[in-house]
């Protein structure tokens, strides 16, 4: 189907191409209400991108909220389907405090979710679609991938309690290696306790260059199978024209109360911050009473407004 550039904005063109990409891979369009009961978001505040939520009371007296997130609504409103895989995509507006902290904004997302029997093949497909999504937006992009299970194993080995663990994870997300060393000293941990984690966070590059070192490190901490899973997820990129667009970076983190396994963020040249974010969120599913496994990502279309027409046309 041809896209008529004369009647569509840049954002609309990209949205159309993304939806066509997902539907072409067997993903079904999911539509939802603009609002949910506020309790859904109050119980999962840490999962949200921002703390602010717009609330109102409906005619029955229930406290409702304009949705600040799509994934939570999908998890709440779908049911487990043992032995099958639900492949969904969406094009929705969310209502959040903007990164510039200038009040609430209506923001547009296009994304996808896989729920059910999520296996290595499904994870690899989602990563491939994330890369293809970035390529539809711009030719100058990278996808940074990590594995939260591996990161968690390294942090657990050195953190005496949850408070110290969270402080170390915060430093990991900022790639603050000196901060990790400082936390170890302040808490009188054994000399060199954080060295292996610092080595892990220092690894940055294509799967071909860094996966052998990750496997070697992970074996020492009982995370060998998780390293193997990460290797299988990214194996399809080695030797392809996308190989140099895929970077392993363990600072690509997420909240370990909700996320597990593979996590990733997408970046486009000229745009500060990630324009795509995703990962496995089995822990969120368990927290909300679901047994299915899950993985997904979202593309933040509003951030693409910074792209010039030339950059989009080259994509």
Q: Which DSSP string corresponds to 258-286?
A: T-EEEEEEEEETT-SS-SEEEEE-HHHHH
Q: Given a cut of 50, is residue 9 above it in pLDDT?
A: yes
In this prediction, residue 98 carries a pLDDT of: 61
pLDDT in tens, 178-226: 999 999 999 988 888 899 999 999 999 999 999 999 999 999 889 999 9
Question: What mean pLDDT do residues 85-101 have?
Answer: 82
pLDDT in tens, 266-281: 999 989 889 999 999 9
Residue 2: which pLDDT band, with cuts at 50, 70 and 90? low
Among 59-73, 153-167, 224-238, 241-255, the range with the most confident prediction by mean pLDDT is 224-238
Angle value at C-alpha 147, between 79 and 48, nearest 5 degrees: 55
In this prediction, residue 55 carries a pLDDT of: 87
Q: Given a cut of 60, is residue 250 above it in pLDDT?
A: yes
- Give the E-state strand segments of the chain in sequence order: 28-29, 35-37, 55-57, 63-66, 85-97, 104-116, 141-147, 204-205, 246-249, 260-268, 276-280, 293-300
Closest CA to 292 of 112, 83, 88, 149: 83
Percent of the chain surpassing pLDDT 90: 62
In this prediction, residue 310 carries a pLDDT of: 44
Residue 44: which pLDDT band, with cuts at 50, 70 and 90? confident
In this prediction, residue 36 carries a pLDDT of: 87
In this prediction, residue 46 carries a pLDDT of: 73
pLDDT in tens, 118-168: 999 999 999 999 999 999 999 999 999 999 999 999 999 998 899 999 899
Q: Given a cut of 70, is residue 51 above it in pLDDT?
A: no
Question: What mean pLDDT do residues 16-20 have?
Answer: 96
In the three-class reduction of DSSP (H, G, I as helix; E, B as strand; rest coil), residue 312 is classed as helix
Q: What number of helices (H) and strands (E) belong to the chain?
A: 12, 12
Residue 6: which pLDDT band, with cuts at 50, 70 and 90? low
Question: What mean pLDDT do residues 290-303 have?
Answer: 94
88 has which bridge partners?
28, 113
Average confidence score pLDDT of the chain: 88
In this prediction, residue 272 carries a pLDDT of: 86
Which structure tokens are listed for 165? 């663990």
- Alpha-carbon distance of 277 to 259, in angstroms, equals 12
Residue with tokens 């005619």: 59
């Amino acid at each position: 189907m041809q896209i008529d550039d004369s009647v569509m904005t840049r954002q609309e063109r990209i949205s159309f191409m993304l939806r066509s990409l997902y539907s072409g891979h067997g993903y079904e369009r999911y539509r939802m209400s603009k609002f949910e009961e506020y309790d859904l978001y109050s119980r999962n505040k840490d999962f949200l991108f921002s703390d602010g939520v717009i609330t109102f009371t409906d005619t029955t007296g229930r406290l409702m909220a304009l949705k600040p997130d799509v994934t939570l609504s999908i998890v709440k409103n779908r049911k487990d389907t043992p032995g099958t895989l639900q492949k969904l995509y969406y094009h929705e507006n969310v209502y959040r405090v903007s990164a510039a902290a200038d009040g609430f904004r209506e923001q547009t997302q296009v994304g996808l979710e896989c729920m059910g029997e999520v296996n290595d093949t499904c994870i690899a497909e989602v990563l491939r679609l994330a890369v293809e999504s970035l390529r539809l937006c711009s030719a100058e992009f990278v996808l940074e991938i990590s594995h939260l299970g591996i990161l968690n194993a390294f942090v657990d080995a050195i953190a005496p309690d949850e408070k110290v663990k969270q402080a170390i994870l915060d430093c990991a997300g900022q790639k603050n290696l000196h901060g990790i060393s400082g936390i170890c000293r302040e808490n009188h941990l054994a000399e060199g306790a954080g060295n292996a984690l610092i080595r892990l966070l220092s690894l940055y590059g294509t799967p071909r260059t860094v996966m052998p070192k990750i496997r070697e490190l992970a074996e020492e901490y009982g995370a060998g199978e998780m390293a193997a899973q990460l290797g299988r997820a990214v194996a399809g990129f080695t030797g392809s024209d996308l190989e140099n667009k895929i970077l392993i970076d363990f600072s690509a983190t997420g909240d370990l109360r909700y996320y597990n396994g593979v996590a990733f963020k997408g970046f486009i040249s000229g745009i500060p911050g990630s324009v795509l974010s995703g990962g496995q969120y089995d822990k969120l599913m368990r927290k909300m009473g679901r047994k299915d496994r899950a993985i997904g990502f979202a593309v933040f279309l509003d951030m693409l407004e910074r792209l010039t027409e030339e950059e989009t046309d080259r994509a």
